[in-house]
Amino acid sequence: MESPRTPFPTTGYFGPEYFCDREAELDQMIRNVKGGNSTTLIALRRLGKTALIKHLFHHLRSNHLTIYLDILATESINELLNQFSAAILSQLSEQSTPGKKAWTFIRSLRPVISYDGLQGIPVVTVRSSPEESRKSIHELFSILESHSRPVVIAIDEFQQILEYPEGQTDAWLRSVVQDLKNVCFIFSGSQQHLMNELFMNPSRPFFRSTQFIKIGKIPSSPYNEFIESKFREKSRSIAPGTVQEMLDWADHYTYYVQLLCNRTFISSGKRIDPDHWKLEASRILKEQEFVFFGYRDMLTKPQWNLLKAVARDGVVKQPTSADFISRHRLGNPATVLRSLKSLQKMELIYRESDEAGIPFYGIYDVLFRRWMDRTQGAG
Ligand SMILES: Nc1ncnc2c1ncn2[C@@H]1O[C@H](COP(=O)(O)OP(=O)(O)O)[C@@H](O)[C@H]1O
Ligand SMILES: [Mg+2]
């Protein structure tokens, strides 16, 4: 595995050395796989689902065949077939016996195969009707079912199947996968309400057919230790308490923590003082400003005002309360509700529940929140 340019990569997976914690979740997922059970993995985006799947696969690699596909870009069952075929071609060598079967079958579909020059991965295009696509996916599952090693297929951004025009893809998929003994699945997704709909609604085919794992933020103490040790390994000394300040600024949100550490690592010398990360944090916000003004241009005035209000409060339990509305001058509850819905749809605001099960609203973009902290007015 190649090394990342800093000990704090902001994309991709570079092995356990650069991966912090998630030990309980990893254990649970390994146990699920060993028991032949499928897993549903949910978390807000950028908390670390994809990285955790890659981490799991790293641990399974010697005894299992692992196949990863991200279906966010797919818009039909035909495109799912294409993505799945590409994942198989990139994972299974044509020389191996099961690989040969899979390759021969995919070739028989007369695909156009090209290579994504940037990532070196195959892009497969088969044009077939929904019915034929389903049959082909089924056939590929059957080929994997007879593989000598157990097979784990991760379908990332799984909620996307709800968008397919054919409809009821989950019903079809459930009926096919429930007969597989040698293949188990990881269904991963960010949009919690859609994932809940798929797996927790009694009238849906996947209802309680999988083990649920929900990941949150990495706890402070292991993340602190991890970051300090990574700086130390590269002979950087860091003033006491500084890592905690950085974690707090990034709201312990994995992607933003990685970003801040990455940038601070690059721009500082042997010794890292609080001034260093603060300077880097300002730079990041400055660079992102055009994104924030982009939000403003894209949103209606009430949506923009609500976004700012949620950013300022951080956690909002009662968005339609008189207090919240009057403090932020948001008009009336109906307007707030309408804007809230739109902002959730645009994935700018999320809805979560706290430990007591009480729902609250928050904003994904930690940088936007930090930017709001310093620009009180901002139109
Ligand atoms: N446990 C971890 N330790 C270190 N970095 C992580 C960890 N989990 C995720 N990351 C990093 O955080 C970023 C976001 O993670 P990602 O897996 O892409 O999130 P998601 O799939 O939930 O949107 C990536 O850059 C990834 O490398
Ligand atoms: Mg992901």
Q: What is the pLDDT of residue 196?
A: 84
Tell me how far apart the alpha carbons of residues 10 and 3 are, in angstroms, rounded to a whole number. 13
- Pair of tokens at residue 310: 């949620």
In sequence order, what are the beta bridge partners of 238?
A: 272
Could you identify the residue written with the tokens 């699945």?
185
Predicted local distance difference test score (pLDDT) of residue 376: 62
Atom 13, ligand 1: which residue's CA is nearest?
255
Atom of ligand 1 nearest to the CA of 19: 3
Query: Helices (H), strands (E): how many in the chain?
Result: 15, 11
Element (DSSP H or E) covering residue 231: helix 220-233
Structure tokens at 33: 């796989």
56 lines ligand 1 (CB under 6 A): no
Q: Nearest ligand to the C-alpha of residue 19?
A: 1
Rg over CA atoms, the chain: 23
Testing ligand 1's pocket by substitution, the residue of 255, 257, 365, 366 carrying the most ligand atoms inside 8 A of its CB is 255
- What is the longest distance spanned by two Cα atoms in the chain? 68
> Token digits for 154?
């991760």
Question: What is the third-level CATH fold of 22-214?
Answer: Rossmann fold (3.40.50)
For residue 45, the ligand 1 atom closest to its alpha carbon is: 23
Measured between alpha carbons, how far is residue 343 from residues 157, 161, 262, 276, 321 in Å?
Answer: 20, 22, 30, 34, 18
Mutate to test the pocket of ligand 1, among 254, 256, 257 (most ligand atoms within 8 A of CB): 254
- 120 exposed, middle or buried (CB, 10 Å; 0-12, 13-18, 19+)? exposed
Distance 185 CA to ligand 2 centre (A): 16
Residues ≥6 apart with Cβ < 8 Å to 214: 41, 42, 43
State the Cα torsion 296-302-303-306 to the nearest 10°.
100
Which residue from 210, 224, 11, 268 is spatially nearest to 118, judged by alpha carbons?
Answer: 11
pLDDT of residue 150: 96
Task: Round to whole Å and give the CA distance between 45 and 346.
Answer: 13
Query: Closest ligand to 13 CA?
Result: 1
Is the CB–ligand 1 distance for residue 47 below 6 Å?
Answer: yes
**Average confidence (pLDDT) per 10 residues, the chain, 379 residues:** 88 95 98 96 94 98 95 96 94 84 93 80 91 96 94 96 93 92 95 84 88 94 97 92 96 97 93 93 96 95 96 95 96 96 93 87 95 72
Output the CA 48–ligand 2 centroid distance in Å.
7
Q: Residue 249: count other Cβ atoms within 10 Å of its Cβ.
A: 18
Gap between the Cα atoms of 110 and 143, Å rounded: 18
Q: Is the CB of 45 under 6 A from ligand 1?
A: yes
* Closest CA to ligand 1's atom 1: 20
Q: Which residues of 262-285 are buried (b: 16+ CB within 10 A; e: fewer)?
A: bbbbeebeeebeeebbeebbeebb
CA distance 345 to 366: 18
Ligand nearest to the CA of 9: 1
CA of residue 335 to ligand 2 center, whole Å: 32
Tell me the β-bridge partners of 153. Answer: 67, 185
55 lines ligand 1 (CB under 6 A): no
Domain 299-379 falls under CATH 3.30.420.610: no
Residue 221 Cβ contacting ligand 1 at under 6 Å: no
If you measure from the C-alpha of residue 254 to the centroid of ligand 1, how many angstroms do you get, rounded to a whole number?
Answer: 6
For residue 47, the CA-to-ligand 1 centroid distance in Å is 6
- Provide the whole-model pTM: 0.94
pLDDT score of 208? 82
**Per the structure block, which two tokens stand in for 107?**
């070739």
Give the Å distance between the CA of 56 and the centre of ligand 2.
Answer: 14
Domain boundaries, the chain: 22-214, 299-379
Q: Ligand 1: which residue has its CA nearest to atom 15?
A: 48
> Is the CB of 254 within 6 Å of ligand 1?
yes
